[in-house]
Structure formats: structure tokens, C-alpha cells
Structure 1
Amino acid sequence: MGKELGVRISEQLKARGMQQKELAERIGLTEATLSRYISGDRDPKPEVIANMATALHTTSDYLLGIEHDDFDYPRIRRMIARNASAMSDQDKKDLINALFGGE
């Protein structure tokens, strides 16, 4: 896995305005452990990758470099379904606006 995973985690953290400490707390890791995953010093277990993906509103495949940013309707649908319960009302409104161009 190595550096590719770390780069993708860092990109997702930045895109969401989230700090490593916040992600670590959300998924039940220490910040030091998460830092080792990001630096490529350690490889996380599959369930940790899945938890990171959920917390970052992305997929494990994306974090692992298996899938890319290209639009993929089934992937987007799975991601929304998996994260809907954690979305705030504002997140849902923003998503609807992004999908349908509303105000």
C-alpha cells in the first residue's frame, strides 16, 4: 500500500478541512498510528481502511488507488447510501444542489 494510500488520505483530509487528529478519533485510532499509515510506515488492516473511507466520505477502493475520480454512478450511489445517516441536513441540501443545480 505505502505512500499512495497516505497521499490519498491526506488529499481527502484537506478536501474536507479535517485534521489527522479528528480522523483518528472518529475511527478509534491514535493520531500516531494514523500518522504511520499516512507516511507509509505501516499498512492498515482492511477494516481500518473501510472505516477511514467511511469517515472521509469516499471508498476503500479510492484510498487504495484501485478506482479513480472518474464519475461512476454505482460507486457514488453506494457512497451516498453508506454515508447518508451521518450527513447533516446541510450536507444533504448541498448534495441535492450539486446533483440538480438547485439554489
Structure 2
Amino acid sequence: MKMSQTESIGKRIQGLLELRNMTQRELASKVGITEVSIGRYVKDSREPKGRVLADIADALDSTTDYLLGRTDDPNGEEDIVTIAAHHDGDEFSDEEKEMIEKFKDMVREMKKKKRS
């Protein structure tokens, strides 16, 4: 899902809700705020701040950078691979790429368990 960096926080939240097959009610429950608050964020009548923004990003398996429009990668994976790829200028072997993918999967699972 590619989104323009000019999209609002509300549009990005709504897009992630659709991508994750999640309702505003489910998101509100995961974050620990009211469904009305989520609705206001989606409609851009209010912006989530600080901890709430981070909790929304976590609940949607995304990043605050994505919600704030700093990146178009909703999963934050592009940045991890890019950073890792610049470790010493060498290309990764297929085996090393597979290890990176396994690490990303492990991090995702840890995030899910942390939220549960």
C-alpha cells in the first residue's frame, strides 16, 4: 500500500484500518481510548499526540513516522533493510537476506505479544 506523504494522519489511520481489516472500535480497544476519539482522528478534527500516537501506530503494526507522513512505508521495514544494507557497503547473500527476513518476522511477533 503506497500512500503519498501529503496524506493526513486521519487518512493514514483509515488506510491502515482497512489494510489490517480492523474497525475503529477494535483500534480504540487496543489503544485504550474511546471510539469517538479514533473517529475524530480519522476525520482529522483532532490529531493524536505523544503516547497515543505511538500506541495507535503499534496497534496498527505501523510506525509513528508513517502516520506523521515522514515515510511512505506503513510497516517500517524498508528503513530496517536500508540501514542494514549500509552496514559495510557489501551486498547481502541470499542466506543473509533470509536471516534479515526472519529477524523482521520475529520483531513483528514480539510486538504482537507485547500488545496482547
Same fold (TM over 0.5): yes
1:49 aligns with: 53
2:63 counterpart of 1:71 = no
**Cα-Cα RMSD:** 2.8
The one-letter amino acid of 1:62's match is Y
1:25 aligns with: 29
2:109 counterpart of 1:84 = yes
Structure 2 portions without partners, runs of 5+: 1-6, 84-100
Q: Percent identity?
A: 37
SS of equivalent residue, structure 1 residue 71: helix
Q: In 2, Cα distance between the equivalents of 1:66 and 1:12?
A: 16
Q: Deviations 1:41-60 (Å, cap 9, x if unpaired)?
A: 11211111100110100100
With the length of structure 2 as denominator, give the TM-score of the two structures: 0.62
Q: Deviations 1:21-79 (Å, cap 9, x if unpaired)?
A: 000000001000110011111121111110011010010000110111283225x9789
Q: In 2, Cα distance between the equivalents of 1:45 and 1:71?
A: 24
More helix by share: 1
The count of residues paired between Structure 1 and Structure 2 equals: 85
SS of equivalent residue, structure 1 residue 21: helix
The one-letter amino acid of 1:71's match is E
- Alpha-carbon distance change, 49 to 78 in structure 1, aligned in 2, over 3 angstroms: farther
Q: In 2, Cα distance between the equivalents of 1:45 and 1:79?
A: 28
Structure 1 portions without partners, runs of 5+: 89-103
The one-letter amino acid of 2:62's match is T
1:99 aligns with: none
Give the number of the structure whose alpha-carbon radius of gyration is greater: 2
With the length of structure 1 as denominator, give the TM-score of the two structures: 0.70
